[in-house]
Structure 1
Amino acid sequence: MTIAAALLLAMQVGPNPASTPPLGAPPELEEQRARSAAASAPRTAQTPSRLVECLRLAADDAESAYDSATSWRANARDAERAQAAHCQGLALVRMERYPEARDIFAVARGEVGDDNPTYRARLGAMAGNAAMAGREASAAIPHFERAIVDANIAGQNDIAAGLEIDLARALVAAERPEDAMAALDRAREAGPGDPRAWLLSAKLSRQLGRLMEAQRQVEQAAVLAPRDPAVGLEAGVIAALANRTEDARRSFESVLLVAPDGAEADRARAYLAQLSAEGNSPQ
């Protein structure tokens, strides 16, 4: 680690917190944003050209892609039925018809053979993400759980770790924070080098009032992603809740240093102004 990186890391996380009570809960830090199901399209050398063409069409003309995929599916057999449904689902996502997309992705997953668990995992993830985009967190949970099983069968630890994070988001939205923390524990175990798992764990630990645990987790997130403004912002909130005002100030200032024009910088400036005006933690 360079000297500059070490200094930035110290600004982000500060020293370990003292045993002081929380001063109140800050607002959510954009934890519940649904991610597009489109990002999960399979990327293997065996991907059929017809599916690739359909997915490209969906990006430009979702209605035409849906019609084309529907016609394709009507005449398809075996594995091609799942591929056609895959394209139908993506087109439906583009048209923001999320419940229909969720259902067709689930159908597609069921049509993929047991010999391709990685593709099954991706289609299950798409079903879960479509449900999240439609603000149906409870409906998303079983889709993510099945996708995790598929990913583990395939031996795809990276995919499994990302799906555990998706599951944790759904569980938080469904007001099941302890189950969400368990999912994040599994995500960190499957992908210990993924800073997202550590950052989301820190946020959830902080929301549950476990500030010592949150501090440890945000420190690890900062080791893995020392220039991520979201890490600096979260570290500042944790420090403020622990009554470590100067550490909080340094963390918020680190956000302005690495990303002065981002959304996190706007939050950091607001928190810094509040610290200066009230001598208190961000509300």
Structure 2
Amino acid sequence: MRVAASDPAAAIAEGARWALTDGGIEAELCLGLGYENSGDWDAAERAYMRAHGFAEAAGDTRGTGILANAGRMALRNGDPASARDRFGVVLADSSLSDSVRGNVLIERSQAHVALEDGDAAQADLVAAQALLPNDSSVWLLSATLARRQGDFDTAGDFIDRALELDQTDPANLLEAGNIAIGLNAYDIAQQAWSRAAAADPDGPSGQAAARNLERLAALLAEDPGVPVELPDQSPGIEETDPQG
């Protein structure tokens, strides 16, 4: 598993040899991590599910965590329904720590979003907020989803909390600008996007913010009296996906 971080192919080869000698859970975890780090989500999912089967048969307590890994791979592999169901099984485990439960709730919210169930996704994120109150990413995800659902007041509350926790995160600043545009608060949007662009000039959030500033300036120059379209609706105003 250590090798998988630097040489996924070597980990896959070792895991395959190990599996042939009845390596059990450990061999499949070696394979799963190797495939995951090489971007082969389908093979990683199958390896993790085999490991989960071994764990269930042996009464091994690692089974819950392994199933969570299989859920993540299903989500990346374009099967959000399987991911949602696996995360549900994981969340039924009363022994989960608050940190693990909160992160699995975040992951299940992504599955809900992919299944176009925004209300269920937001419910999971709100539950995660209570478990991870000082994790700015939870509040950012909640803000982004609320904005996409058209609830700008709630989105504003969520992004304010994210910024309280991390005022320099370019993703938080980009989203703050996106929400401000939805409220026609152009000055606030410009300020937030300018800070995002300065903080992350070569990264996705900073570059999206810089392009948004250019687009906003062009739109206001064309007709300052016309409301600027929301980020999702305007091809010129961009956002990055905080879940991805």
TM-score band by shorter chain is: 0.7 to 0.9
Give secondary structure in 1 for the equivalent of 2:107.
helix
Q: CA deviation at 1:94?
A: 4.0
CA distance in 1, matches of 2:198, 2:9: 44
Residue in 2 that maps onto 1:72: 18
- The equivalent residue for 1:128 is 71
1:227 corresponds to which residue? 168
Write the distance in 2 (CA, Å) between the matches of 1:215 and 1:243: 13
- Structure 1 residues 114-165: Cα deviation after superposition (integer angstroms, max 9, x where no partner): 9764x33331221012112222222211122222333xx2241111111111
Match of 1:138 among 78, 81, 93: 81
Calculate the aligned-residue CA RMSD, in Å. 2.2
- 1:47-86 aligned within 5 A: 55-76=1-22, 81-86=24-29
Report the CA distance between 1:270 and its aligned residue.
Answer: 1.4
Question: Contact 1:89 / 1:104 at 8 angstroms: preserved in 2?
Answer: yes
Which runs of structure 2 are paired with 1:89-168 in the superposition (5 Å)? 89-112=32-55, 117=61, 119-150=62-93, 153-168=94-109
TM-aligned CA distance change 1:252 to 1:60, over 3 Å: closer
* Gap change, CA 1:136 and 1:270, over 3 Å in 2: same
1:210 aligns with 2:151: yes
The 5 A counterparts of 1:164-243 are 164-243=105-184
Deviations 1:60-113 (A, max 9, x none): 55454334324434444xxx6222221122223345442232133123224336
**For the residues of structure 2 that align with 1:98 and 1:209, how far apart are their CA atoms?**
33
For 2:7 and 2:216, the matched residues in 1 are separated by 49
Q: Answer whether contact 1:120 1:147 (CA < 8 A) is retained.
A: no
Asked if 1 retains the 8 angstrom alpha-carbon contact of 2:125 and 2:142, the reply is yes
Counterpart secondary structure, 1:154: coil
Whole-angstrom distance in 2 between the partners of 1:64 and 1:167: 31
Name whichever of 218-227 and 127-136 sits farther off: 127-136
Retained in 1: the 8 A contact 2:200–2:207? no
Q: Give 1:233-272 correspondences, 5 Å limit.
A: 233-272=174-213
Map Cα deviations across residues 225-282 of structure 1 (whole Å, 9 max, x no partner). 1110000100101010111111111111121232233221211111111221112244
The alignment partner of 1:112 has SS state of helix
Among all aligned residue pairs of Structure 1 and Structure 2, give the percentage whose two residues are the same amino acid: 27
- Residues 155 and 89 (structure 1), Cα distance of their counterparts in 2 relative to 1, 3 Å cut: closer
Q: 1:201, 1:214 within 8 Å by CA — same for their partners in 2?
A: yes
Higher-RCO chain (CA-CA 8 Å, sequence separation at least 6) = 1
Number of paired residues?
223
- Alignment gaps of 5+ in structure 1: 1-54
The superposition leaves residues 182-222 of structure 1 with CA deviations (integer Å, 9 ceiling, x where unpaired) of: 11111111111111110000000000000000000000000
Equivalent residue number for residue 225 of structure 2: none
